[in-house]
Amino acid sequence: MTQRKRPSSTQSSSQRRHTGNLVAQDEDDDVTFTQPSTSQVQRGLEKLTPAQVDQKTAEVVQYFLVKDQKKMPVRRADLVKHVVKDYRNIYPEILKRAARTFDQVFGLKLVEIDPKNKMYILVNNLETPDKASPIRSPSNPKMGLLLAILSVIFMKGGVVRENLIWNTLKKLRVDPGEKHEEFGDVRKMVTDEFVRQRYLEYVRIPHTEPIEHEFRWGQRADAEVSKAKILEFMGELHEQDPKTWTQQYREAHSLPNSSQASTSSSSSSQR
Amino acid sequence: MKRSKGGGDEEAPRQNGSASRRKADQQQSDGDEGGSDIGPADLQDDDNDQGLRREIRSKYRDLISSVQQNREDMLSPSNNKLTEVLEEANKLFKDVRQAREAALDAQLLVVATDLGKEKASQLFSEGTAFDPTAFAEHLLSFMGLNRLEDDEDEQQTTANGYLPQDAWHRLARRAECCFRTAPSFHYMMGSFYAEPPPPKQRIERQRKAPSKEAKRIMPTQLKKMEESQQEATEKEVERILGYLKSYYQDDPTSPISYYEFVIDPSSFSRTVENIFHTSFLIRDGLARMYLDEEKLPCIAPVEEGEVEAGGSTSRKQCILSISPKIWKELIDAFDIRDSIIRPPNKQND
């Protein structure tokens, strides 16, 4: 592994600037960024030393890791603007190397969850364990809540009205109208945080008065969460064979990559 | 466009010919709402019958609002309310003559079809149905709900029992099996609690007292015996130094195996004491340990002037451990018959 020096001061300050703008998702889209061609990338690489390219790759890796702490997706525009900067002419190469680093060093996979808006997340490349880990590492209770919500949505066919979710949560002693001991502002967490993390989608249903929304699985959930495992869990809870839910079973086991969105391959495809 | 007087008719922006007439009518009658009956003395032909038009529009609006307000009710598969609404709308439509009414009819249709789609999606599951209520109950059990059995609970709707503190954590741990979440990146130095690193402390303690019992016994006896034990230790250390030197003197060239030196084949506890006392020699720079060609530990006294006691030469620390099993193995391996260090005169055994 190459020596990873501390990021230069400009990069860390821009990181700080960027984390301050975390809420403002409408950062100016770098519309001028066009994908450089393979020959352009080649020429760009010739002008740089391997150390420089490695350094830039390392910075990209670090950027992703930090952004991933909050599970916020990374936009290509931000990446180019804040990290890649002058090296944008070799952007595909850098991303390719970063993906390789994630795979070989961290066991993570760089996944493009939104081909249109060019957004990326990191996903665990290792096999999910069959049972809960025997190591008592601190767990995030929000994941429990998320599992409950995603399960209901999946078992109900992929779309549910928000009231169903709120009512189910109330039965679980989590009232979106009140401040919860553990989760705080539940409504905000579910409709804002989980949505920004791309675990859920919260869309308005047209023609409803008063306004109602529906929930669907988000792009990150599609990439990270295994429907088959959820169905297994349902089977355990209800003491039934997962196959009794025929439609859900079919959906969970139809595609081999049913739990993964399009992956970023190491070839220099359009990124 | 909102009219200033009287109720209703807010949605249609266009005024057709009859509007001005109606306005005049409204000013005549006493501010009736849109839903009231045919106003007095303004009946024209059926097509422009203002009262009838108003009535139709009002009925449409009622239908629309009833669909919107009673959504849950209409969704229930146990009734046909939605069909009734549509039948009602069909009847109304026969009398529709003007664009405004038709617009309301279209609006009702949109609202009703949304509901219809909703109802259709309720028929989703072939196979076993999924009931969120039952799911919630099972989940609560999974999270470790303690169901109280008190009869004071009058309302069955309020929750029975309480969830343990770690309820959601239990679910989160189960979730780990279903999620391929990338573990969050943190610098390791941030994840330790602020306590001094244990190994270093352990080494220091071990250096002075490889056998814990000896360490523990020493301080308490120190207090009681007014340091006579301390002197005893010093004497013992001196004595052992004497053995080491004389043994070394006999043959300065041949290295002394550390194990042969400290082990007493007849007593494990004395072996441990020997190790303990020998460690003082090393600590004070009076003896040194090294590894010979076969990587076995050897010990030798330090020539005077070679190393200063407590000096700044590079020192290494190591931890020695020995168990009766290892002790026996060493005796066999090195074929130790006699102890080099003669046991002390029995004082406090």
Q: What one-character-per-residue DSSP string does B243-281 give?
A: HHHHHHHH-TTSPEEHHHHH--TT-HHHHHHHHHHHHHH
Q: Give the residue-averaged pLDDT of B92-98.
A: 87
DSSP one-letter code for A23: S
In A, minimum Cα distance to B170 occurs at A144
Would you say how long chain A is, in residues?
271
Tell me the nearest-neighbour CA distance from B161 into chain A, angstroms: 11
B259 close to B274: Cβ distance less than 8 angstroms: no
pLDDT of B51-65, one tens digit each? 888 888 899 999 888
Residues of A in contact with B139 (CB under 8 A): 148, 172, 237
Other beta carbons within 10 Å of A156: 21
The pLDDT value recorded for residue A73 is 93
Task: Give the 3-state secondary structure of residue B298.
Answer: strand
Chain B residues with beta carbon closer than 8 angstroms to that of A106? 182
Query: From CA B98, how far away is CA B142, in angstroms rounded?
Result: 61
User: Residue A121: which pLDDT band, with cuts at 50, 70 and 90?
Assistant: very high
| The amino acid at A256 | P
pLDDT beyond 60 at B45: no
Decide if B110 touches A, using CB distance below 8 A.
Answer: yes
pLDDT 10s digits, A63-112: 999 999 989 999 999 999 999 888 888 999 999 999 999 999 999 999 99
Does A130 touch chain B if contact means CB atoms closer than 8 Å?
yes
The confidence band for B327, taking pLDDT boundaries of 50, 70 and 90, is very high
Helices B132-142 & A227-238 angle (0-180, nearest 10): 80
Nearest CA in chain A to B114: A207
Q: CB-based contacts of A95: which residues, under 8 Å, 6+ apart? A: A60, A110, A264, A271
B288 φ/ψ angles, rounded to the nearest 5 degrees:
-135, 150
B184–chain A Cβ distance below 8 A for any pair: yes
Q: How confident is the model at residue B116 (pLDDT cuts 50, 70, 90)?
A: confident
Lookup result for tokens 């989608």: A201
Flag if A68 and B111 touch (Cβ within 8 Å): no
| Average pLDDT score over residue span B301-326 | 73
- Which site among A74, A172, A226 would you substitute to test the B interface, given the most B Cβ atoms closer than 10 Å to its Cβ? A172
Is A208 part of the contact surface with chain B (CB cutoff 8 Å)?
yes
Percent of chain B with pLDDT over 70: 64
Task: Give me the residues paired with residue B152 across strands.
Answer: none
Contacts with B193 (C-beta within 8 Å, 6 or more apart), sequence order: none
Q: Which residues of chain A lie closer than 8 angstroms to B136, CB-CB? A: 168, 171-172
Neighbouring C-beta atoms of residue A24, cutoff 10 Å = 8
Which residue on chain A is closest to B174 by alpha carbon? Answer: A132
Cβ–Cβ pairs < 8 A, chains A and B:
155
Residues A84, A94 contacting (CB under 8 angstroms)? yes
Using an 8 Å Cβ cutoff, are A145 and A183 in contact?
yes
Chain B residues within an 8 Å CB radius of A173: 140, 159, 163
Maximum Cα–Cα distance for chain A, whole Å? Answer: 63
Name the residue of chain A whose CA is nearest to B112's CA: A207
Worst-scoring range by mean pLDDT, A51-55, A88-92, B163-167?
B163-167
Please, what is the average pLDDT of chain B?
74
CA atoms within 13 A on the CB side of B302: 18
Mean pLDDT check: name the lowest of A53-62, A233-242, B208-217, B252-261. B208-217
* Residue A101, helix vs strand vs coil: helix
Instruction: Give the pLDDT score at A62.
Output: 93
Q: Which contiguous run of DSSP H or E holds residue B331? A: helix B324-334
Report the helix count and the strand count for chain B, using DSSP H and E: 13, 3
Contact B178 A230 (CB under 8 A): yes
**Partner-chain contact A240 B128, CB within 8 Å:** yes
Residues contacting residue A75 through CB under 8 Å, at least 6 positions apart: A27, A117, A118, A119, A120
- Does the pLDDT value for residue A249 go beyond 80? yes
- Rounded to a whole number, what is the distance in Å from the CA of B168 to chain A's nearest CA? 5
Nearest to A119 by CA among A53, A21, A25: A25
Average pLDDT over residues B130-139: 88
pTM for the whole structure:
0.53
Determine, for residues A146 and B142 on separate chains, whether the beta-carbon distance falls below 8 Å. Answer: no
Q: A57-61, B283-287, B310-314 — which is least confidently predicted?
A: B310-314
Mutation site for B-interface testing, chosen from A147, A169, A194 by largest number of B Cβ within 10 Å: A147
- The answer to whether the CB atoms of B168 and A171 lie below 8 A apart is no
Tokens linked to A129: 């364990």
Q: Residue A193: what pLDDT?
A: 94
Contact A164 B132 (CB under 8 A): yes
| Interface predicted TM-score of the whole assembly (ipTM), two decimals | 0.76
Residue recorded with tokens 């466009």: B1
Ranking A252-256, B135-139, B312-316 by mean pLDDT, the lowest is B312-316
Single out the residue of B62, B68, B57 nearest to residue B9, CA to CA.
Answer: B57
Tell me the mean pLDDT in the region B233-259: 86
Task: Give the full edge-to-edge strand order of the sheet including A108-114.
Answer: A74-75, A119-124, A108-114
Question: Whose CA is closest to A250, among B118, B139, B125?
Answer: B125
> What pLDDT is recorded for position B46?
56
Q: A147–B174: do the CB atoms touch at under 8 Å?
A: yes
Q: How far is A1 from chain B (nearest CA, A)?
A: 18
SS3 category, A206: coil
pLDDT of residue B155: 44
Q: Does B147 touch chain A (CB under 8 A)?
A: no
Whether the CB of B185 is below 8 Å from some CB of chain A: the reply is yes
Q: Nearest to residue A106, comparing CAs of A62, A52, A51, A55? A: A62
Question: In this structure, are residues B209 and A89 in contact, taking their beta carbons and an 8 Å threshold?
Answer: no
Cβ-nearest to B177 among A167, A209, A229: A229
